[in-house]
Amino acid sequence: MKKEAYFTAATIQRRSDELLRNVMALRKQRDWAFDPGRAALLVLDMQECFLDPGSHSYVPSGRAIIPGIGTLIRVFAGSSRPIIFTRHLNTAEDAGLMAKWWKDLIVETSPRSGFISELDVSAGRVFRKNRYDAFFGTDLEDMLKSRSVKQVVICGLMTHLCCETTARSAFMRGFEVFFTVDGTATYTEAFHAATLLNLSHGFATPVLAAEIRNAFEGSHDRS
């Protein structure tokens, strides 16, 4: 598989607009309203192993989504809304079939297992996860419900693996899901587009990061 930089700093706005247009007909069928006062931000696996060009797991489009995610972190933090960062780590005991599938693991002692420095992880709570699904084996659901969260905004890596699986899992747990087109990235545009098509049909509302930011700004104007 040849990895692609389908998002770059220069192209992410145009390409994400195009990707959103491709699924807009599905979005318009239900197009749930985003409510900042009921929302939490989930930032999945923004770790060096996926964002360091020297890593074999490097996502070439990943660095282009960092500024948009940083903006979302700031607006959620500014409104005192929950922010969750996931850090994917495995041991031989907890990896399940991921070890057999991928043949290697992200372990805590890896020098690239930590978060990238560009994002302020101190703005939220960190959950360690060991599967694609951020809800699997964690108390994420309980934490969100304790804060009366009804909606989740998903961003991070990778679009078609951890982000998509977590979006589906959130929907099944009763959360309305808003999936950022330009706040997620993966190895190829085909994987990214397939996730948007699938989620838009049955699990999530695709959005641009600016739509979420503007909703927060609008809520401040009304207060």
**Cβ atoms within 10 Å, residue 152:** 26
Predicted model pTM: 0.95
Distance CA 93, CA 79 (A): 39
In-domain check, residue 56? yes
pLDDT digits (tens, 9 = 90+) for 67-91: 999 999 999 999 999 999 999 999 8
- Separation of alpha carbons 5 and 186, rounded Å: 9
The 10 Å CB-count burial string (b at 16+, else e) for 32-59 is eebebeebbbbbbbbbbbbbbeebebbb
- Picking from 75-89, 97-111, 172-186, which range would have the lowest pLDDT averaged per residue? 97-111
186 domain-assigned: yes
- Whether 81 is in a domain gets the answer yes
* Residue 161 CA to its chain's centroid (Å): 10
CA 141 to chain centre: 16
Band (220; pLDDT cuts 50, 70, 90): low
- State the pLDDT at residue 16: 98
Measure the CA dihedral 209/133/131/7, to 10°. Answer: -20
User: Is 7 domain-assigned?
Assistant: no
- Is residue 114 in a domain? yes
Number of structural domains in the chain:
1
- What is the structure's pLDDT at 103? 82
User: Does 1 reside within a domain?
Assistant: no
Q: Is residue 69 part of a domain?
A: yes
Q: Which range marks the domain in which residue 21 is found?
A: 12-222
Indicate whether 222 pLDDT > 80. no
Q: Are 46 and 116 in contact, with CB atoms under 8 Å apart?
A: yes
- Note the pLDDT of residue 104: 83
Q: Is the pLDDT of residue 2 over 70?
A: yes
pLDDT at 221 over 60: no
């960092």: which residue's tokens? 66
Of 211, 200, 185, which is closest to residue 24 (Cα–Cα)?
200
Give the Å distances, CA to CA, from 16 to 70, 150, 158. Answer: 17, 26, 16
Burial class of residue 196 in the structure, from the number of CB atoms within 10 Å of its CB (0-12 exposed, 13-18 middle, 19+ buried): buried
Calculate the average pLDDT of the chain: 95
Asked if residue 6 is part of any domain, the answer here is no
Report the CATH number that the domain containing residue 139 is assigned in CATH: 3.40.50.850
pLDDT in tens, 9-24: 999 999 999 999 999 9
Contacts of 33 (CB under 8 A, 6+ apart): none
pLDDT of residue 4: 97
For residue 35, the model assigns a pLDDT of 97
Q: To the nearest whole percent, how much of the chain has pLDDT over 70?
A: 98
Average pLDDT, integer, range 19-31? 93
* 36 DSSP assignment: G
What the block records as the tokens of 4 is 């692609």
50 touches 159 (CB < 8 A): no
Quote the radius of gyration of the chain (alpha carbons, Å): 16
